[in-house]
Structure 1
């Protein structure tokens, strides 16, 4: 798989953390990420799902255990895919993994659900953002659902000071056009960190609509133990009120 210089940098950052990447899923912030993401995933029994930017397969394995008949995971970084395949070999669930750049994602099938999880945050520009969304949409069957975990377009950079208590730190860097460049550090050893972007409001909705998707929605953030939303009190309140991510769903007509 040939990558651009931009995607080579992304790949290198993830390659350095591939062996311990699943450890970040045990940090407090990741429980909110998981609850929020899974709130948008429909009943999977007997369904097919494409996990885009699957990393080492953490969510792919959850999707399979939720009853999905077919799970395919793709990620830009070969070392991540290698770890996912090793876990699959040791504890087989019937998941297929491959090294694929979301910006060059081919049509791998007609899936009931396509779940790009943190995939779009690394698009090098608006054109590539739209291309990624379109390529994900092309893998949906009619009536299929896209569930996309993206950067939060309404992020309050000042309130990110609360993040370290939840296991991560995000440092704003220079702006690149209309995008806010950030560096993310996860509180695990060995080190896990990478760069990304906060995209402006409307970017995801516009890309989904351009890709021909309908019923575009942004879902509320969730936290463990809460059926819907979150009160303004409690351990997770500060994080849920200003998370680094936002969850969008859309349907292919």
Structure 2
């Protein structure tokens, strides 16, 4: 997750710590993990269920939460990039404590230069939510396209733009979204600012931050313009045999986030 300028008026180090704690403890992690690993990533793994020999770029990597999981799948090389220096500091501290061979870099996605050797997979979990306008969104997607080899994939998670306003109130699961300036009707215009608040294990709000909304059709147009052949939406899913499946019914039916898989 890129902090971007969303917490420019807050203590960024405090935000990084709060977000890390939420990421590791919040109850929606089982659903998100299941969706990423079982519904998005699994078709890209080899017969052994690994990413052996693959080069991966994890954008908006935050504290390296998913970067480490991807590395554990046996990829040959992985690089995590995030704009937030405090987030990368946390990731590097974890890497020093438990070395996995992950490279971390503080950088803005739109400033990344093309790699001399293309990547087999680029990931971006909660990256596009921070694009402040369509031009910046397109710039991000073009950078991703430039990093990928032909026929390779991008996978990501964003706020559930397909659900519209139904994604907003998920306080039960530790997250709320509110439109900064109230709107008439159900339609949400592109570029609408959305205030996201995460809640800790004591149900206390942490530092709020700003996301930006873009319609599904805008995303689909942007990915086509950037040279991708396809973009598939992947709704949140969960293991129906899990003991706590019923608890997540509301989260699945009115999911605050949604997955995306794009092929170059």
Shift of 1:207: 1.3
Aligned with 1:187 (options 189, 195, 199): 199
Q: Secondary structure at the match of 2:224?
A: helix
Q: Distance in 1 between matches of 2:198 and 2:162?
A: 22
Shift of 1:24: 1.5
Asked if 1:151 is matched to 2:166, the reply is no
Q: Secondary structure at the match of 2:74?
A: coil
Q: C-alpha offsets along residues 117-173 of structure 1, whole Å, 9 cap, x if unaligned?
A: 111111110011011001011111122111121222223425633x11111222221
Identify unmatched segments of 5+ residues in structure 2.
Answer: 46-50
TM-score by length of structure 1 reads: 0.86
Q: C-alpha offsets along residues 81-137 of structure 1, whole Å, 9 cap, x if unaligned?
A: 111011101100000000111222222341110001111111110011011001011
Asked if 1:36 is matched to 2:35, the reply is yes
CA distance 1:159–1:46, shift in 2 (3 Å)? closer
TM-score by length of structure 2 reads: 0.82
Name which of structure 1's ranges 100-109 and 130-139 shifts more when overlaid on structure 2: 100-109
CA distance 1:65–1:168, shift in 2 (3 Å)? same
Q: C-alpha offsets along residues 186-210 of structure 1, whole Å, 9 cap, x if unaligned?
A: 1127824311122112122111111
Asked if 1:165 is matched to 2:172, the reply is yes
Corresponding pairs, count: 241
Shift of 1:49: 1.1
Asked if 1:235 is matched to 2:233, the reply is no
Q: Distance in 1 between matches of 2:98 and 2:196?
A: 31
Q: Distance in 2 between matches of 1:104 and 1:75?
A: 11
Aligned with 1:129 (options 110, 127, 137): 137
Q: Distance in 2 between matches of 1:202 and 1:10?
A: 28
Name which of structure 1's ranges 64-73 and 191-200 shifts more when overlaid on structure 2: 191-200
Name which of structure 1's ranges 176-185 and 131-140 shifts more when overlaid on structure 2: 176-185
Aligned to 1:56: 63
Q: Distance in 2 between matches of 1:52 and 1:102?
A: 7
Name which of structure 1's ranges 23-32 and 71-80 shifts more when overlaid on structure 2: 23-32
Name which of structure 1's ranges 106-115 and 19-28 shifts more when overlaid on structure 2: 19-28
Aligned to 2:20: 22
Q: Distance in 1 between matches of 2:80 and 2:240?
A: 29
CA distance 1:10–1:20, shift in 2 (3 Å)? closer
